[in-house]
Amino acid sequence: MTERLLVLVRHGQSEWNLKNLFTGWRDPDLTPLGVEEAKMAGRRLKAEGYQFDLAFTSALSRAQKTLDLALVELGQTGLPVTRDLALNERDYGDLSGLNKDDARVKWGEEQVLIWRRSYDVPPPGGESLKDTVARTLPYYVTEILPKVLQGNRVLVTAHGNSLRALIMVLEKLSPASIMKRELATGVPVIYRLRADSTVESVIDLAA
């Protein structure tokens, strides 16, 4: 039986998540908690009996390290891995590296909220979620989805917004709905797809 398994994992907590900074394409490391979250993702998947044929991750180290740590727990350190910037976090442009509270002081609460939670308004020099979907979705359609439909069990570790772009398509969510969708760090979301690429079932392995 063809499994058509796709598992998405947001990277563990990063140093900048902890400091409440806009991260985007900047490349901070995982915190000790983030390391443990990444390991826990692997343990949860192993406990449920999941194994994988290949994996995808972004060009940023926090996602790559999350994948590496999870694969150690799964006993699959030799798994073929593809890294691509198409799966990178949304680029926050001029906000990158700024404390979110400081940004509210500089530009105002309402403007920062629009940049963070609107679908198609980008921050200065950065990407909106719509832009992130336009970057991430073609990569999913051409590189990841065909592997899943061929029966490969695929693990993807990436970022809150690049994964939202995939989830928006997988779950047929509206722009308003996807902006409200929260993804916990280090928690696997498991999809089984039908042959026509639609979702047959979804399981969130939240603790």
Q: Which residues are catalytic?
A: 11, 89
How far is the C-alpha of 112 from the C-alpha of 131, rounded, in Å?
17
Structure tokens at 176: 């308003």
Name the β-bridge partners of 157. Answer: 9, 57
How many angstroms separate the CA atoms of 62 and 67, rounded?
A: 9
To 5 degrees, how large is the angle CA 8–CA 41–CA 84?
40
State which H helix or E strand residue 205 sits in: none
The DSSP H or E segment spanning 110 is helix 109-117
Contact between 186 and 37 (Cβ < 8 Å):
yes
